[in-house]
Structure 1
Amino acid sequence: MKKWLYVSTFALSLALVGCADQEEKGADKEIQKEEVAKQDEAADTSTVKKEEFQDGVDEEAFQKALASFPTTVPEKIVTTSVPLTEMLHLLEITPVGVPTSTNPIPSDFDSITKIGSPMSPDLEVISSLQTDLILGASSLQSSLDQALQGMNLPTAYLPTDSYDDLKLSFKVLGTYFDKEDKVNEILQNLVAKEKELEEQAQGKELPSVMLVIGTSDSFMVMNDKSYLGSLVERLGADNIAKSVLKAESTYSPMNLEDIVVADPYIVFVLASGDHGANEDKFKQEIEKNSAWQQLSAYKNDKIYMLDYSIFGVTSITNAETALTTIADYFYK
């Protein structure tokens, strides 16, 4: 009887141990499932976060530009660039000096000291402002550095010539001055617009385009290095200055014989009486040279005059409008 009781007790113990093992294994499996679910959720969250901050800015160029700024964030900034002045305004950073320009400066900065034109600022005025940093456009760096020789004033330069330049420079300034939230807000709006326009373009053949700018004495074609050219390139259209004419300079003299052969479907003309030739002068150009009338753009009424205030000056504020306007012409 005792033997039977011992065997029964032993069997019961084994059964209980087995149940405990099963319960423990089941619990382990549940824990594993929870861990996997958490990892998947974290991965999904990470993916979303990564997608949220894909602003299209070249990381290497961004880090290089950011590294060119002083270690100590300056309190008194003078800017010699209109596009960079606009960016400072968006970031709620008030400089002590801004450029004098026919191009618009934020009205909130009307009372700020004017330091002269971007190409030849008044060095005496700049020096009197006791600035901690002169912020200028990369395109004018060599001339400004030469003018500032011997003045021992810190400088930083950012590119402002193209659409991608604007995004890069805005991100650099926002990061440097700890204004990432504002930068992300604006850049994400631009990225959203880019994606929207890309979706519109799917399945459509974008037209060949020629970009023309009026100077004081002639008209020139613009390649992809110009602001307008960078917008056209971003939208994926063919700029004949780059693809056919092989123009290496941002602005190149027009050769109508080559243009007639290239036969662009759309011609965008950037003309302003304040900055060179106006619309009337371009019409005179067409009338005096019959080659223009051979173009498909002329025959199909696809020659468009663009607003200089939107396309003649690089502007992070107007970038979304500029992209949308050009895209609308493509889809007409």
Structure 2
Amino acid sequence: MKSPRRTALIVVIVLLIVGVFGGYFANHQLAKQRHHQRIVATTYAVVQIADKLKLPLVGVPNTANKMPARYKNVTKIGSPMNPSAEKIASVKPTAVYSVTTLKDQFGKSFKQQHIKPYFLNLQSVSDLQHVVTTMGNQYDRKSEARAANQEINQAISKAKQRANHRQKPRVLVLMGLPGAGYMIATNHSYVGNLVELAGGKNVFTSKNQEYIQPSDEAIQKAQPQVILRLEHAMPAMVTEQFNSDFKTQSFWRQTPAVQSKRVYDLREPDFDATANMHAAKALGEVSQWLYPGSQ
């Protein structure tokens, strides 16, 4: 008859063996699941995040921007503003990513194809970093996520050092609209967030709105010392619109920014309406425009 102590030892050994094999099986299944992820990115900002994290994609948006080499031959699924539910469904995705600002673009056709996109919040640099961390954890790309966020953190620290103990310049941020003039970007916009991180004072703030209607009188009264013009869509047309407006509207010539030639055009891919993986470079540029000549 076996002693209770020996029986207990055998039970412990069996449990350890079961635990080891159970853990191995679970890790194997998780690795298998990650290997078979079929991810679709419907915006260029999401493509950039995926590229930084070295994630495979089975669908990418049509874009004028340069596509990363790893996605050169990946299926195009339409423009970010009007992605094709049929093309997305054809690549049999396990996850489809867009951004919160385009949520209204995904209508009945996606429900009919049984596609439920995930909408990433990229309204600020901190939101971008949160998304990078979350996706890094989800897809086992933690080291890549840490490296990407560290690059942004270094840019933030450098911008703070440049602005330290200096008077904040008054900044006006405009977003050009092809054929329809422009909107004013508030502190809740992505570029507005870059201005804040760079140590500038956005002359137009809001409690919850990203963009507000322009007012010539309000702009003139704000006396901006720096003007940033975001040329998000159709940049050639928007730049021409801006230049024409700044020449024909006399109030622009009366602003300190125009008088001191501190008007800067923001173009893709470094700048966009939502945060992207060029955030570190974009912040560095805004920082230098706000505080020229400083290290």
1:224-266 CA deviation, whole Å, 9 max, x = no partner?
2222111012223110111xxx485323222111111111111
Query: Residues 132 and 154 of structure 1 are in contact (CA less than 8 Å); yes or no, is this contact kept in structure 2?
Result: no
Aligned counterparts, 1:79-118, within 5 A? 79-118=41-80
Q: Which residue of 1 aligns with 2:248?
A: 288
**Per residue, is there more helix in 1 or in 2?**
1
Aligned counterparts, 1:170-319, within 5 A? 170-216=132-178, 217-242=180-205, 246=206, 249-271=209-231, 274-275=234-235, 277-312=237-272, 314=274, 316-319=276-279
Query: Residues 240 and 264 of structure 1 are in contact (CA less than 8 Å); yes or no, is this contact kept in structure 2?
Result: yes
Q: Tell me the number of residue pairs that the alignment of Structure 1 and Structure 2 aligns.
A: 258
* Change beyond 3 A, Cα 1:279–1:126: closer
Distance 1:84 1:223 in 2: 23
What secondary structure, in the 3-state scheme, does the structure 1 residue paired with 2:111 have?
coil
CA RMSD of aligned residues (A): 2.2
Which residues of structure 1 form unaligned runs of 5+?
1-71
* Change beyond 3 A, Cα 1:280–1:141: closer
After superposing the two structures, state which structure 1 stretch, 208-217 or 161-170, moved more: 161-170
Give the CA deviation at 1:275. Answer: 4.4
Distance 1:171 1:309 in 2: 22
1:300-319 CA deviation, whole Å, 9 max, x = no partner?
22222233431135454311
Identity %: 24
Query: Residues 213 and 219 of structure 1 are in contact (CA less than 8 Å); yes or no, is this contact kept in structure 2?
Result: yes
Give the CA deviation at 1:208. Answer: 0.7
* Change beyond 3 A, Cα 1:93–1:248: closer
Give TM-score, length-normalised by structure 2.
0.80
Give the CA deviation at 1:85. Answer: 1.3
After superposing the two structures, state which structure 1 stretch, 291-300 or 272-281, moved more: 272-281
1:260-315 CA deviation, whole Å, 9 max, x = no partner?
11111111112367247433322221222111122111222222223343113545
* Change beyond 3 A, Cα 1:316–1:123: closer
Distance 1:315 1:258 in 2: 27
* Change beyond 3 A, Cα 1:301–1:119: closer
Q: Which residue of 2 aligns with 1:160?
A: 122
Q: Which residue of 2 aligns with 1:17?
A: none
Query: Residues 171 and 201 of structure 2 are in contact (CA less than 8 Å); yes or no, is this contact kept in structure 1?
Result: yes
Q: Which residue of 2 aligns with 1:52?
A: none
Distance 1:154 1:272 in 2: 27
Query: Residues 199 and 287 of structure 2 are in contact (CA less than 8 Å); yes or no, is this contact kept in structure 1?
Result: no
Distance 1:215 1:155 in 2: 27
Distance 2:156 2:181 in 1: 34
1:16-68 CA deviation, whole Å, 9 max, x = no partner?
xxxxxxxxxxxxxxxxxxxxxxxxxxxxxxxxxxxxxxxxxxxxxxxxxxxxx
What secondary structure, in the 3-state scheme, does the structure 1 residue paired with 2:153 have?
helix
Give the CA deviation at 1:152. Answer: 2.7
Greater Cα radius of gyration, structure 1 or 2: 1
Query: Residues 79 and 136 of structure 1 are in contact (CA less than 8 Å); yes or no, is this contact kept in structure 2?
Result: yes
Query: Residues 61 and 83 of structure 2 are in contact (CA less than 8 Å); yes or no, is this contact kept in structure 1?
Result: yes
Q: Which has the higher contact order (CA 8 A, sep 6+)?
A: 2
Distance 2:101 2:241 in 1: 29
Distance 2:225 2:48 in 1: 35
After superposing the two structures, state which structure 1 stretch, 312-321 or 221-230, moved more: 312-321
Amino acid at match of 1:134: V
